[in-house]
Chain A
Amino acid sequence: MAQPADTKKRGKARAPATKNAGLGGNQPGLTKDELLRGYRDMLLIRRFEEKAGQLYGMGLIGGFCHLYIGQEAVVVGMQMALGEGDQVITSYRDHGHMLATGMEARGVMAELTGRAGGYSHGKGGSMHMFSKEKNFFGGHGIVGAQVSLGTGLAFSNRYRGNDRVCVTYFGDGAANQGQVFESFNLASLMKLPCIYVIENNKYGMGTSVDRATASRDLSLNGAPWGMPGVQVDGMDVEAMHAAALAAVAHCRAGLGPYLLEVQTYRYRGHSMSDPGRYRSREEVQNMRSTRDCIEGARHKLESLGIEEAQFREIDDSVKRIVQDAADFAQTSPEPDVSELWTDILLEG
């Protein structure tokens, strides 16, 4: 049994101590090149989401649209620790996750505008996209529903005898759903290679985590089943990456599931229709000005000798990708009505 007696360690970039040495331990920070890549990936998500917000404001995107601005370091740090064939599944706040897995900005943006060129051919919208190629399993609209599905993705890895892991993301709000705890027990019992990532952005819609959750430490949520859990600074891509490496190593070694409670923050409303009256402007502004993940990475890169021209080059390339995606999303045709009868069980 490799269940650690000490299931919990606090700390920014510190990986948990497990009984099995060499499964992670303290990881060094990212190299300059890795950090530069992380910076670029976070910036791409930020600019993409800003553009999506603009298109929503112009009426080109309808329905529900949940932006990821502020939380970029979480998916980027995690993705940098994953390998080919590892799976990702998440909720409806999914644009950043998709871009992090390498899904095309064009296809994501065109789905937001409901066009035939979107990943779901216009059928899914912001909340419901999928990429078999990138092992992104959606895009789920019912709070917490993806957690048991992710458990099953991990089950399949074990069943097939591969060493792949599944990263199952959910929010602090979803963390209170019953199937989350049912999944924790099941995954622990079966030692499934599942990394559960609670993106604690402090608010489940308009209800703060303090008002919705009796526990003050969600990283302990897997403790009854012996699931190791750590709290991670999700505003720091290096801390996120280090924690992710430890989690991945644990799961790949067949030691069962692993829980990361990531402390993060969304700058925008729950969705585009949320004016955010449940928190102060100062609170948001303070996070933006003191904890921003992209600014943090930039300062670190500056101290490593990256110059203004290189940042500008990255900015320009990201802007080009986002503009191209926005153009594509507005010129791709609307789905033909015949699409109603594709990928369906039986018509009638």
Chain B
Amino acid sequence: MAMMTYLDAARAALAEEMRRDPTVWAVGEDLGRGGVFSQYRGLVEEFGPERISDAPISEAAILGAAVGAAMMGTRPVVEMRFSDFALCAVDELVNQAAKARYMFGGQTRVPLVVREPMGMWRSSAAQHSQSLEAWYAHIPGLVVVCPSTPADNKALLKAAIRSDDPVVYLEHKHLWPLEGEVPDGDHVLPFGQAAIVTPGSDLTIVSWSAQVHVCADAVATLARQGVKAELIDLRTLWPWDKETVLASAARTGRLLIVHEAVQAGGFGAEIAATAAEHITARIRRLGAPRAPIGYAPPLEDAVRVQAPAIVAAALGLVNGRQLG
């Protein structure tokens, strides 16, 4: 075990994969100077500009070219800098990368990782703060990964690079400096395996990405009030670990899904609906209001799902109060 930040864990994962497999390369804007968040720091020195490839600000061309390069058997890791900017290349991802394997009868694969730093981060305002994971989870052909810890960021990025299908890899900007223990060696996690962060028996809380940490605070508060919440970190949204979530919620009888993204049409709706179809449990979702993210701190805070709201929703489920 080594202490490492979320950012450095991803950097280590990419470096290890590039050493292991010469077909792995990275492309994106500002990679040559280490990436806009320093998540590629030192890599151009080790691997050279052919493999850590700087690109002009041309998201559509970068992603489309990466799809072509992936069809030829290389493994591009595409850096989009902000998930908001990746929308400039949605056609290449959704219509091309996600469809090619199926549409061409399995004759080609697209082993591509698209890194999209996401989420609210120090007043970045409406066009640099979004959480769009549900969009990608909606698209057949895409794997969607939302790591919440340094260990997961390393193990899941390795899994994403080794995936023969396209992966939308959503790292949360707020988590870059988060430190945590990371297993030594070549530790790779399978997709679709949730983590039980805290076991509990009174209710099940499901979350992912940075929101897991807010939920952990809420779970600690609930514990002080005698409520034992089981916190599940989904880790990957597609595939998602239905078994773990449904088994837990069936056992506790109460399911609360919490995410930073807008609640309406969020991935929480998919989990809630799936649970409603398969088990008997009281279910509630918490997400952001359907409003663009404001710049001023009071407005940014107003769309955050904060620990007190999670605690209140959990107590509402546990106490069986009429839900608002």
Do A348 and B264 touch across chains, with their CB atoms under 8 A apart? yes
B57 partner, pick from A128, A176, A335, A336, beta carbons under 8 A: A176
How far is B59's CA from A142's CA once the two chains are assembled, in angstroms? 11
Question: What residue in chain B is nearest A271 (Cβ atoms)?
Answer: B36
B302 at the interface (CB under 8 A from A): yes
A335-B299, A344-B291 as given contacts; A177 in contact with B85, CB under 8 Å: no
Do B33 and A207 touch across chains, with their CB atoms under 8 A apart? yes
A141-B125, A206-B30, A340-B302 as given contacts; A176 in contact with B58, CB under 8 Å: yes
How far is B29's CA from A335's CA once the two chains are assembled, in angstroms? 35
A204 partner, pick from B56, B88, B126, B264, beta carbons under 8 A: B56
Chain A's interface: helix, strand, loop or mixed, by majority?
Answer: loop
How far is B54's CA from A141's CA once the two chains are assembled, in angstroms? 21
A124-B126, A344-B291 as given contacts; A213 in contact with B302, CB under 8 Å: no
**A278 neighbours in B (Cβ, 8 Å):** 33
- A328 to chain B minimum Cβ distance, whole angstroms, is 15
Instruction: Convert B263-304 into 0s and 1s, putting 1 for each residue whose CB lies closer than 8 angstroms to a CB of A.
Output: 010000000000000000000000001111011111100110
**B74 neighbours in A (Cβ, 8 Å):** none
Q: Which of A111, A143, A213 has the most CB of B within 10 A?
A: A143
B108 at the interface (CB under 8 A from A): no
A173-B57, A337-B302, A348-B290 as given contacts; A127 in contact with B127, CB under 8 Å: yes
Do A347 and B296 touch across chains, with their CB atoms under 8 A apart? no
Question: What residue in chain A is nearest B126 (Cβ atoms)?
Answer: A128
Question: What residue in chain B is nearest A61 (Cβ atoms)?
Answer: B123
A50 at the interface (CB under 8 A from B): no
How many chain A residues sit at the interface, stated as a range, is 35 or more
- B155 to chain A minimum Cβ distance, whole angstroms, is 29
How many chain B residues sit at the interface, stated as a range, is 35 or more
A63-B295, A206-B30 as given contacts; A174 in contact with B84, CB under 8 Å: no
Question: What residue in chain B is nearest A204 (Cβ atoms)?
Answer: B57
Do A335 and B298 touch across chains, with their CB atoms under 8 A apart? yes
- A332 to chain B minimum Cβ distance, whole angstroms, is 11
Do B298 and A142 touch across chains, with their CB atoms under 8 A apart? no
> Of residues 67 to 100 in B, which have CB atoms within 8 Å of A's CB atoms?
84-85, 87-88
Do A125 and B125 touch across chains, with their CB atoms under 8 A apart? yes
B117 at the interface (CB under 8 A from A): no
B128 at the interface (CB under 8 A from A): yes
> Of residues 303 to 348 in A, which have CB atoms within 8 Å of B's CB atoms?
334-337, 339-341, 344-348
Question: What residue in chain B is nearest A337 (Cβ atoms)?
Answer: B302
A-B contact pairs, 23 of them (CB 8 A): A62-B122, A63-B124, A63-B125, A63-B295, A123-B295, A123-B296, A127-B125, A128-B295, A140-B127, A141-B126, A176-B56, A176-B57, A178-B60, A204-B29, A206-B30, A207-B32, A207-B56, A212-B55, A335-B296, A339-B294, A340-B289, A340-B299, A340-B303
Q: B-side interface residues toward A, CB under 8 Å?
A: 29-30, 32-33, 36, 54-61, 84-85, 87-88, 122-128, 264, 289-292, 294-299, 302-303
